[in-house]
Every structure is written in structure tokens, then in C-alpha cells.
Amino acid sequence: MANHLDLEEQEQLDELKAFWNRFGNLITWSLIVVLAGFAGWNGYQYWQRSQSAQAAALYDEVDRAAKAGDTAKIERAFADMKDKFGRTTFAQQAGLLAAKTLFDKGNVDASKAALTWVAEQSSEDGYQPVARLRLASVLLESKSYDEAMKQLSGSFPKEFEPLVADRKGDVFALQGNKAEAIAQYKAAYTGLDALDDYRRIVEIKLNSLGIDPRPAAPVVSAASPVTVEIKK
């Protein structure tokens, strides 16, 4: 009985050895690849968390500088963000914040540079159109009408289309093209929700051009006289 079990064990060992000789390297390398991939994924996740934490710290620095009105510090911190964490969401947010503060402080060129960077580099669908719209406004302030129109060209997410039309209306109005300005303002007015406060601003712009976008009230005709028949 013992010999029989020894023979079975030997056969099993021989089969195992044959199997290992045939597939051992494949199994070993497969495990190495899987484990390396797992380690790489964990390492990538750690790197992402580290990048996000460092980017958040730099964003806070931009925010503090913006609140203090320190334009030199804003430019330094934002430059660091672009260089080290340019692909993060924090960098896009910092660009929009820096651009606003720099413009308010009269540094128009630096504001345009920050907005241009966000418009060209942002991978976030929400930040890019915002940057293009704000850049168009800054260019309008500089009377760079053709450049402003370039920023308003091309595709925008549907929810931004009324705001784009309004900004195009501003360009045409400043260029003295009344007909095109009215057409764009009307498109903006129609596209905005009736309860949107900004719609009232567009309405004021149309009013200044002699247009009332609100539908005319229905004309109520005078009531015809009622004849009362008196039965005898």
C-alpha cells in the first residue's frame, strides 16, 4: 500500500515537474507583470495624491496673494504652478483667479497671459470656455476687437452659447455694427432662462439700441355692446 502511494506521489511529482518545466517561466513572468502593475498603480495613486496636495498648497498661496493684492507674489506662485502642476485642476483655477486680480490691479498684459494659458492648456471643459469668454472681455477693454472675436469663434458647450452671443454683440456694438449687435443680443436673450438675472442686462442692451425683446402684449379689443332682449 505504501509503495502504491509512493508511486502515485512520484507520478504526481513528475507531472508537476513537467508542468512547471513547460509553463514555469510563463507563470513567473506573468506574476512579475501583475505585481509590477499593482505596485505601479499604487505608486501612481500616491504620486497623484502628492501632486494634488502640493498643487493645493500653491493654489492657497495664489489665493492669499490675491486677497492681499500682491501682484508680484501672484505671478510668482502662478508661474510655479504652471511649471510644476500645470495639468492639475488647481492650476486652471489659479489661472482664472490670478487673471481677475491682475486685471483689477491694472496689469492687463499679465491678465491676458494667464487667461490665454488656461484657454490653451486646460483639459477641463468648464475652465476653457470661461477663460475664452473672460479673455474676450479683456481684449474688448483694450479695443482689440478682432482678437476678441477670435476667442469667441469655434465651438462652445451649449450652456455657454447665450453668453458667447452676448459678448459677440458687445464686439459688434463697439464696432458700430448695430444690425449684427442686435442679432447677437437677441440670440443671447432667447437662449437665457427667463429667470436669469443676466437676461435683464441683455434686455437693457437691446433697449439702448431701440429694441424691446419682450413679446408685445395682446391687443384687447373693446367689448362689443351687449344687447339685452326684453321679453314682453
pLDDT, average across residues 143-161: 92
pTM for this structure?
0.70
**What range does the domain containing 83 cover?**
30-143
Query: Domain check: are 125 and 197 in the same one?
Result: no
Average pLDDT in the chain: 80
**CATH, residue 87:** 1.25.40.10
Examine the pLDDT at 147 and tell me if it is beyond 90. yes
Q: CA 156, CA 188: separation in Å to the nearest integer?
A: 14
Is the predicted pLDDT of residue 169 greater than 90, yes or no? Answer: yes
- The answer as to whether 165 is a domain residue is yes
Please, which residues have CB within 8 angstroms of residue 54's CB and are 6 or more apart in sequence? 84, 85
Residues 139 and 171 in one domain: no
82 and 130 both lie in a single domain = yes
Q: Tens digit of pLDDT for each residue in 170-180?
A: 999 999 999 99
What average pLDDT does range 159-168 have in this prediction?
93
Do 130 and 183 sit in the same domain of this protein? no
Residue 178 sits in the same domain as residue 123? no
Q: 110 near 75, Cβ under 8 Å?
A: yes
Residues 165 and 207 placed together within one structural domain of the fold:
yes
53 and 87 share a domain? yes
Q: Which residue has the cell 424691446?
A: 212
How many independent structural domains does the chain possess?
2
Do 168 and 113 have their domain in common? no
Query: pLDDT grade, residue 148 (50/70/90)?
Result: very high
**Alpha-carbon distance 167 to 21, whole Å?**
73
**Do 113 and 170 fall within a single domain?**
no
Separation of alpha carbons 122 and 63, rounded Å: 19
Q: For the segment 21-71, what is each residue's pLDDT rounded down to a tens digit? A: 666 666 656 555 554 554 443 443 444 566 677 888 888 988 999 999 999
Are 126 and 169 found together in one domain?
no
pLDDT digits (tens, 9 = 90+) for 197-218: 889 999 999 999 999 888 765 5
Q: Where are the alpha helices (DSSP H) in 86-208?
A: 89-104, 108-121, 127-141, 145-152, 161-174, 178-191, 197-208
Contact (CB, 8 A) for 206 and 185:
yes
pLDDT at 226 over 80: no
Confirm whether 25 is domain-assigned. Answer: no
Regarding whether 139 and 160 lie in a shared domain, the answer is no
Q: If we measure between CA atoms, which residue out of 94, 100, 163 comes closest to residue 122? A: 94
Q: How confident is the model over 62-119, as pLDDT tens digits? A: 899 999 999 999 999 999 988 888 888 888 899 999 999 999 999 999 999 999 999 9
Whether residue 105 is found in the same domain as residue 200: no
Is residue 74 situated within a structural domain? Answer: yes
Under a CB-based contact definition with an 8 Å cutoff, are residues 101 and 74 in contact? yes
